[in-house]
Structure 1
């Protein structure tokens, strides 16, 4: 590791634009996409901002770690699906749940009651064609000025990347699954 001295001056110009809602995308093959989105939700909630989280691949009755803590904090989180496609017994039903879930999420974005809306794992239903990309793009472009939308999932479409203000690609360097270590509660849930 190279040791470097800490900076003593700001090396980037100070932004001069107006504050406004953002479109933020967390994508890539590495871990941390949902976790980063949840961190943003916690930060906003900590500032007294209204936040809503939709999870497109989780069932409405899910009680994973994030559901438990968000319930304690009063942050609404809603599962919109029936699990990942490889667990589904009826893919048409899964597609219908995604469309119904998108209708809820779209209404929350458009009505402006939330400072931040998280669309966790929305890339799956977009990639499967269950939700039309054009509808999502239109909603993002027509949303109220102060609403921030955070979208997560692997393989974000280029059209979404193009309209986003911030895109972070999580890169896989090493994963414990590769060493045969299974998913663990508190890490993967």
Structure 2
């Protein structure tokens, strides 16, 4: 065996030992709170990927889409016929298009009622609250209300929150936080969003 092969084997043996220790220490089983935030692309896409994974195992899953719900969504188009998926959409689309705080707040509160039902249902394994961070930022929802609903959800239920500038209280509650960082985005160079790639 060459020196390089020997070093590689020792490194992999040490890595395996470290990973085995981490796996052995992970004994708790419960639902999680995941937050996908940051200014980079891919937060909603990552969340839909997890929705697809849960549906693949036959778990009941609920998606509540704030902000982008009126837009075409390839993932939603592909998955919404699954009997284990329920999708609820805020009826206004982008709030910078409506520019009406009162109607946006009413639409947000209406779809939040759907979210609350999902968050209280022990049969629902996964709930995605897509772009809810904006609802908190704009004051359409109260952080205490959202925090309470998430904190009191069924023990086995996982919740995913997506959106930029996630509220610090949600970050503090979260089990896993992923921050998407933008390095470059084609849209900033005048390239249109592409169907099947960006939405």
Alignment gaps of 5+ in structure 1 = none
Of 75, 78, 92, 2:102 maps to: 92
Pairing 1:47–2:23 present: no
Partner of 1:65: 74
Say which one has the larger Rg.
2
**2:168 is equivalent to residue 158 of structure 1:** yes
Q: CA deviation at 1:90?
A: 2.6
Please tell me whether the aligned partners of residues 70 and 76 of structure 1 are also in contact (alpha carbons under 8 angstroms): no
Provide the C-alpha distance between the structure 1 equivalents of 2:148 and 2:118, rounded to a whole number of angstroms: 14
Scaled by the length of structure 1, what TM-score is found? 0.90
Secondary structure, in 3 states, of the residue corresponding to 1:24?
A: strand
Output the aligned Cα RMSD: 1.8
Alpha-carbon displacement from aligned partner over 1:47-98 (angstroms, at most 9, x marks no partner) = 11111111011346x5431221012444322212311111115321011111
When you count helix as a share of all residues, which structure comes out higher? 2
Q: Within 5 Å, give how 1:76-115 maps onto structure 2.
A: 76-115=86-125
Given the two structures, how large is their TM-score scaled by the length of structure 2?
0.86
Deviation at 1:151, TM superposition (A): 0.5
Alignment of 1:1-16 (within 5 A): 7-8=12-13, 9-12=16-19, 13-14=22-23, 15-16=25-26
Q: Is the 8 A contact 1:58 1:81 kept in 2?
A: no
Matching of residue 179 in structure 1 with residue 189 in structure 2: yes
Gaps in structure 2 of 5+ consecutive residues: 1-6
